[in-house]
């Protein structure tokens, strides 16, 4: 029988009633003739609570025990979902990550999936089981310890199962009815997209849109998994939600498909750095070692052999970045006059595969920001996106202005 993967996020399994509601949707797909692999998250708020317990008990926690604790939320929902389905006379069984086994690297709290052997599930499906309920977000390392895949990791579990079992589709059920042109909380003009290209989704996810974990989109691209994002609170049909698909499957679209933002950005500038070969390596090497996620980088023209180097990173990594830079200075690896940190910035980006074939998108973006008197501090571009760093207090305004300027409320 064809296999369908259905993933239910935390709000979709927040209580017994909602688990029941999700189970109805699963039963309907079984009736349609699918064998279903269901991936569940923990009940909403549960993982946060578990993380908090760990951090309160041990601020510099052992990551193996962190994983032992925070993976447990999914165990509860997996068992409850299997029981709910059984009560509805749907043959179902639950599986924790280690039972499958979903094999991962040993990078606790951020493990990568290495393999999903099919034998166990295939055998059960052959024996008449119709639904395998999998606890998302968790796996087992070669050392035999429980691992987790990083926050939001159930999306990645779902896509990995869809790839391993060659599922017809991977449906991601969540509390919104699809992927929007931007966050509907920022502008009511935000429009649900019927389709979005995987590449655009990847950019949007990594630029701050929270619907899907970035790695799940990467994985879907690599394995050509057809993804659909849809609401667990509505009655859906074949056309519901947003299909995240191959570029070729999209007939017509706007030049810009979406506007993303990320609120907690910081901009740091090393003032008057000696401009010589190896200087970027000497700065960004220690930052990488300290685990700072550097995003944008700008180096200015130099005067008299000295230049300014600016980069952005998440606000909560500023202290760590400063520490790494000061240490590099003390050891004589780099030399500069001062560090200026601006922790009041946000990043706003426009994304669209149409940019590849249209000139002038950047100019149009800058014009729209100028019309609102918003000053741009840093700019970066790639083939299908343009990002700017601006004062955080103008972030909402910038998103609205860009949404208007590119007429995203209208379908392309
Ligand atoms: N429960 C985990 C989290 O909140 C994994 C997930 O829901 O995707 O991060
Ligand atoms: Mg999620």
Q: Which ligand is nearest to the CA of 175?
A: 2
Q: What's the predicted TM-score (pTM) here? A: 0.89
Q: How many CB atoms lie within 10 A of CB 52?
A: 11
Residue 322 has pLDDT above 90, yes or no: yes
pLDDT the model gives residue 263: 94
Indicate the pLDDT class of residue 253, thresholds 50, 70 and 90.
confident
Q: Which residues line ligand 1 (CB under 6 A)?
A: 9-10, 41-42, 47, 73, 136-137, 151-155
154 CA to middle of ligand 2, Å?
7
CATH number for the region 259-405 comes to 3.30.2130.10
pLDDT band for 333, please (50, 70, 90 cuts): confident
Protein residue with its CA nearest to atom 5 in ligand 1: 152
Q: Which of 135, 151, 232 for a ligand 1 pocket mutation test, highest count of atoms within 8 Å of Cβ?
A: 151
Residue nearest to atom 9 of ligand 1 (CA): 151
Residues of the chain with CATH 3.40.1160.10: 3-175
DSSP H or E run through 64: helix 63-70
Tokens coding 102: 């979903």
Nearest to 174 by CA among 34, 31, 22, 28: 22
**In DSSP terms, which residues pair with 39 in a beta bridge?**
7, 134
Residues of the chain with CATH 3.30.2130.10: 259-405
How far does Cα 336 stand from its chain's mean position? 36
User: Phi and psi for 52 in degrees, rounded to 5?
Assistant: -60, -40
Give the C-alpha separation, 114 to 179, whole Å: 29
In contact, 270 and 308? CB cutoff 8 Å = yes
pLDDT of residue 287: 95
Nearest CA to ligand 1 atom 6: 152
Architecture, CATH, for domain 3-175: 3-Layer(aba) Sandwich (3.40)
> Residue 36 pLDDT > 90, yes or no?
yes
Task: Choose one of 44, 148, 154 to mutate for the ligand 1 pocket test, by most ligand atoms within 8 angstroms of C-beta.
Answer: 154
Whole-number average pLDDT of the chain = 95
CA of 405 to the centre of ligand 2 (A): 30
> Cα of 124 to ligand 1 centre, how many Å?
27
The pLDDT of 15-36, averaged and rounded, is 98
CA of 324 to the centre of ligand 1 (A): 31
% of the chain exceeding 90 in pLDDT: 88
Tell me how far apart the alpha carbons of residues 196 and 177 are, in angstroms, rounded to a whole number: 14
Q: Which atom of ligand 1 is nearest the CA belonging to 151?
A: 9
Q: Atom of ligand 1 at shortest distance to CA of 73?
A: 1
Closest alpha carbon to 66 in 110, 10, 108 = 108
pLDDT at position 1 is: 87
| Contact status, residue 151 vs residue 67, Cβ threshold 8 Å | no
């Amino acid at each position: 029988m064809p296999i369908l993967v259905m993933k239910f996020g935390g709000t979709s399994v927040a209580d017994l009633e909602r688990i029941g509601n999700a189970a109805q949707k699963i039963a309907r797909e079984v009736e349609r003739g699918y064998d279903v692999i269901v991936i569940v998250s923990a009940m909403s708020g549960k993982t946060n609570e578990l993380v908090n317990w760990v951090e309160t008990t041990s601020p510099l926690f052992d990551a193996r025990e962190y994983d032992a604790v925070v993976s447990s939320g999914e165990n509860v929902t997996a068992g409850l979902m299997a029981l709910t389905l059984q009560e509805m006379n749907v043959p179902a069984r639950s599986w924790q990550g280690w039972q499958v086994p979903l094999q991962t690297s040993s990078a606790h709290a951020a493990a990568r999936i290495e393999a999903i052997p099919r034998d166990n599930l295939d055998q059960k499906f052959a024996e008449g089981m119709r639904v395998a309920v999998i606890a998302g977000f968790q796996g087992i390392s070669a050392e035999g310890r429980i691992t987790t895949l990083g926050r939001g990791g159930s999306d990645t579990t779902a896509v990995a199962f869809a790839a391993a079992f060659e599922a017809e589709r991977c449906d991601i059920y969540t509390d919104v009815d699809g992927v929007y042109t931007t966050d509907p909380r920022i502008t009511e003009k935000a429009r649900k997209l019927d389709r979005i290209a995987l590449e655009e989704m990847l950019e949007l996810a990594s630029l701050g849109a929270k619907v899907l974990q970035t790695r799940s989109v990467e994985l879907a691209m690599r394995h050509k998994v057809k993804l659909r994002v849809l609401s667990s609170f509505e009655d859906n049909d074949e056309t519901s939600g947003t299909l995240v698909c191959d570029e070729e499957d999209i007939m017509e679209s706007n030049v810009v498909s979406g506007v993303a933002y990320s609120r907690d950005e910081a901009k740091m500038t090393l003032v008057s750095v000696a401009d010589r070969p190896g200087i970027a390596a000497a700065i960004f090497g220690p930052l990488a070692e300290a685990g700072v996620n550097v995003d944008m980088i700008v180096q200015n023209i130099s005067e008299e052999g000295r230049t300014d180097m600016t980069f952005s990173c998440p606000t909560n990594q500023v202290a760590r970045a400063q520490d790494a830079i000061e240490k590099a200075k003390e050891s004589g690896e780099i030399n500069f006059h001062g560090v200026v940190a601006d922790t009041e910035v946000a990043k706003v980006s426009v994304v669209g595969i149409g940019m590849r074939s249209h000139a002038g998108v950047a100019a149009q973006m800058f014009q729209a920001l100028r019309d609102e008197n918003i000053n741009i501090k840093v700019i970066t571009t790639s083939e299908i996106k343009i990002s700017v760093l601006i004062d955080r207090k103008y972030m909402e305004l910038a998103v609205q202005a860009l949404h208007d300027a590119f007429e995203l409320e209208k379908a392309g």
